[in-house]
C-alpha cells in the first residue's frame, strides 16, 4: 500500500459500481473505500475541509473519466489510489496525479494542511512556507513559459529569413529570462 492509514481511520468497504453512472463499468474491477481522514480519526482540527476520503480503484486500463465521475458524485476531498501505484487528487478542477514509488505521508496540523501536503507530494513541491495556490499558479506560469519557448523554437526552425529568425531569437531570450527569474536561477 502506498499510504499507511491509521487504524482508527480505516473503513475498508467495497463501494458498488452501480452507484455511479460509468460509461463502461466493466473497465473497473473494484472500488474500495480504504479510509476516512477527519477530525475524529486523526485528532486534527478541520477548517474548510471536513474530511479526506481515500479510495482504491483497481482497473485494467486507467481512465480519468472514472475519477471525474466519482468526484462529481461525492462532494468531498478524495485521494484516489489506482492499482496501488498511482495517486490522484482533484484540486481546483484539475486532476493532479503521480506514480508513487515510496509512500505518501499524512502530515499537517489541520485536515486542510493534510490535503495541501498530499497535493505537494504529488507535485514534488518541497517548500511548505508558501501557500499551495501560489505555488501551483507559479508551476502553471512556468509550464506556459516553457511551452512558449518550444513554440518559438519551432517557428525559428521553420523560418527561412535571417532577420525574422533573429527577431524570434530575441523574443525567446526575453521569455527565457522570465522563466529563469521565476525558477530563481
Confidence of residue 109 (pLDDT cuts 50, 70, 90): very high
Say if residue 185's pLDDT is above 80.
no
Rounded to the nearest 10 degrees, the angle between the axes of helix 132-158 and helix 162-183 is 160
Q: What is the layout of strands, in order, in the sheet containing 52-59?
A: 10-14, 28-37, 52-59, 77-82, 86-91, 94-99
Answer whether 0.85 is exceeded by the pTM: no
Residue 135's pLDDT is 87
The domain locations on the chain are 7-128, 134-183
Q: What cell was used for 17?
A: 459500481
Contact criterion met (CB below 8 Å) for 57 and 31 = yes
pLDDT digit string, tens, across residues 48-101 = 999 999 999 999 888 888 888 888 888 889 999 999 899 999 988 888 889 988
Amino acid at each position: 500500500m502506498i499510504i499507511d492509514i491509521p487504524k482508527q481511520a480505516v473503513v475498508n468497504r467495497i463501494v458498488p459500481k452501480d452507484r455511479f453512472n460509468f460509461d463502461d463499468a466493466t473497465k473497473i474491477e473494484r472500488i474500495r473505500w480504504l479510509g476516512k481522514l477527519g477530525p475524529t480519526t486523526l485528532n486534527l482540527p478541520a477548517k474548510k475541509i471536513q474530511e479526506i476520503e481515500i479510495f482504491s480503484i483497481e482497473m485494467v486500463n486507467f481512465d480519468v473519466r472514472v475519477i471525474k465521475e466519482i468526484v462529481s458524485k461525492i462532494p468531498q476531498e478524495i485521494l484516489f489510489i489506482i492499482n496501488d501505484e498511482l495517486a490522484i487528487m482533484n484540486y481546483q478542477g484539475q486532476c493532479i496525479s503521480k506514480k508513487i514509488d515510496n509512500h505518501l505521508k499524512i502530515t499537517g496540523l489541520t485536515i486542510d494542511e493534510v490535503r495541501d501536503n498530499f497535493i505537494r507530494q504529488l507535485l514534488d513541491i518541497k517548500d511548505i512556507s508558501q501557500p499551495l495556490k501560489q505555488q501551483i499558479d507559479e508551476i502553471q506560469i512556468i509550464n506556459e513559459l516553457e511551452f512558449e519557448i518550444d513554440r518559438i523554437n519551432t517557428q525559428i526552425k521553420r523560418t527561412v529569413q535571417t532577420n525574422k529568425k533573429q527577431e524570434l531569437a530575441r523574443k525567446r531570450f526575453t521569455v527565457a529570462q522570465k522563466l529563469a527569474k521565476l525558477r530563481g536561477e
